[in-house]
């Protein structure tokens, strides 16, 4: 009996001590063990004092507080964020703001904990205005469907061309728009607008700036026979007057000069390269439209644009490339072209009298060639005049 009594007494004392210890532990926790958010900041340690009341989609933020270690879910408006357990401690949660657009905008963050309790905090998700990066064909014809790439394409949307014509939306994804080109679209930026803002493109639709080779009219030493003025059935359609088309079998290392010549043979068009493009090529693109009726899958196409004289082995636009019979815009950073000249010992310099121009096909491998070009131009990467 005494043994049982001693065991009961021991258990009672142990329970009392445990309860006392737990009570003491909970009392010693910050905020009595209840979760609390003190503030939200950016994650850069050098900017730890930069507090946030909101953040953009996809931004990584740090939630600072107390007793946060049991967090299981975080919601921003009605969108759930992805939590990584290694980024959760009692005092900090690192989490990226969801990229999805909320349907119910409350401007509040909600944390759900393991026991089902929740904690809310005012926090605005700053929805991005549309971002417009590129279009597959800057010279798409009226009625054709053009593909615009970018991000934050949240319906309802409008796509407005310079001149005020509005395109018909054919398909909308977060990062791709398909739009039917309207009649009346004029050269200039395209503006994409949503409920969260509007953005004009840096590229120009039907870009007619700084054209340095177009064959409208033909000039230069070579090769008038490649110029197409009136396409026959089955030929690529004209997109901006005449275009250049090469249709022949070209053997390995055969020397095929397609177009160009020195400045005095090219005429005034050779003077269309901006001085700034020569001095600061990192601010410019070489752009042109190309149409491959047979794949460009062998040999080599070499460009000379912006030189005092010819350079035989630069710039090399290498295969493969295939537009499958459709016109497509190609953009090449002009600094890469300028560097290819400098690497061969020729530094482009400003020349008010114009520049050497050449398209040369010359390289390894036989090529069954059927390729068309138009609208070679050197244009700014950023349109400083856009609204």
Task: Report the first-to-last Cα separation within the chain, whole angstroms.
Answer: 94
CA distance 223 to 265: 12
Q: Name the average pLDDT for the chain.
A: 91
Looking at residue 27, its pLDDT comes to 57
CA distance 365 to 67: 68
Q: What is the mean pLDDT of residues 15-36?
A: 62
Looking at residue 316, its pLDDT comes to 98
Looking at residue 26, its pLDDT comes to 53
**Worst-scoring range by mean pLDDT, 85-89, 248-252, 383-387?**
383-387
277 with 233: CB under 8 angstroms?
no
Please report which confidence band the pLDDT of residue 80 belongs to, taking 50, 70 and 90 as the band edges: very high
Please report which confidence band the pLDDT of residue 24 belongs to, taking 50, 70 and 90 as the band edges: very low
CA distance 103 to 80: 12
Residue 270: CB atoms within 10 A of its CB come to: 25
Backbone angles phi, psi at 332, to 5 degrees: -125, 125
Looking at residue 47, its pLDDT comes to 72
pTM of the model as a whole: 0.80
Please report which confidence band the pLDDT of residue 20 belongs to, taking 50, 70 and 90 as the band edges: very low
Q: What is the mean pLDDT of residues 17-21?
A: 40
Q: What is the mean pLDDT of residues 73-90?
A: 97
Identify whether 156 is preceded by a cis peptide bond (ω within 30 of 0).
yes
């Amino acid at each position: 009996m005494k043994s049982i009594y001693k065991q009961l007494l021991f258990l009672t004392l142990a329970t009392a001590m445990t309860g006392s210890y737990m009570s003491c532990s909970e009392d010693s926790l910050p905020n009595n063990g209840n979760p609390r958010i003190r503030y939200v900041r950016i994650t850069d340690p050098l900017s730890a004092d930069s507090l946030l009341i909101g953040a953009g989609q996809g931004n990584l933020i740090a939630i600072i507080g107390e007793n946060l270690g049991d967090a299981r879910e975080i919601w921003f408006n009605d969108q759930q964020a992805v939590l990584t357990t290694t980024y959760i401690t009692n005092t900090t949660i690192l989490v990226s703001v969801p990229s999805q657009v909320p349907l119910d905008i409350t401007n509040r963050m909600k944390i759900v904990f393991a026991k089902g309790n929740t904690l809310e905090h005012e926090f605005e998700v700053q929805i991005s205005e549309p971002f417009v990066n590129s279009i597959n064909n800057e010279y798409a014809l009226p009625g054709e469907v053009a593909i615009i790439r970018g991000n934050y394409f949240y319906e309802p949307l409008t796509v407005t061309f310079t001149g005020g014509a509005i395109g018909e939306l054919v398909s909308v994804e977060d990062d791709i728009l398909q739009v039917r080109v309207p009649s009346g679209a004029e050269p200039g930026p395209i503006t994409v607008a949503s409920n969260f803002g509007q953005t004009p493109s840096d590229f120009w639709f039907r870009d007619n700036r700084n054209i340095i080779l177009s064959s409208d009219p033909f000039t230069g030493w070579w090769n008038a026979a490649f110029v197409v003025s009136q396409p026959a059935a089955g030929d690529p359609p004209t997109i901006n007057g005449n275009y250049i088309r090469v249709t022949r079998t070209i053997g390995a290392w055969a020397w095929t000069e397609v177009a160009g010549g020195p400045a005095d043979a090219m005429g005034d068009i050779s003077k269309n390269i901006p001085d700034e493009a020569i001095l600061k090529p990192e601010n410019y693109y070489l752009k042109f439209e190309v149409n491959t009726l047979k794949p460009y899958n062998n040999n080599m196409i070499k460009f000379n644009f912006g030189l005092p004289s010819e350079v035989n082995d630069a710039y090399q636009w290498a295969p493969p490339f295939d537009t499958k019979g459709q016109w497509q815009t190609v953009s090449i950073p002009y600094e890469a072209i300028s560097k290819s000249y400098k690497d061969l010992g020729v530094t482009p310099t400003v020349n008010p009298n114009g520049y050497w121009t050449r398209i040369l096909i010359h390289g390894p491998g036989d090529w069954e060639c059927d390729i068309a070009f138009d609208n070679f131009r050197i244009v700014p990467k950023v349109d400083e005049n856009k609204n």
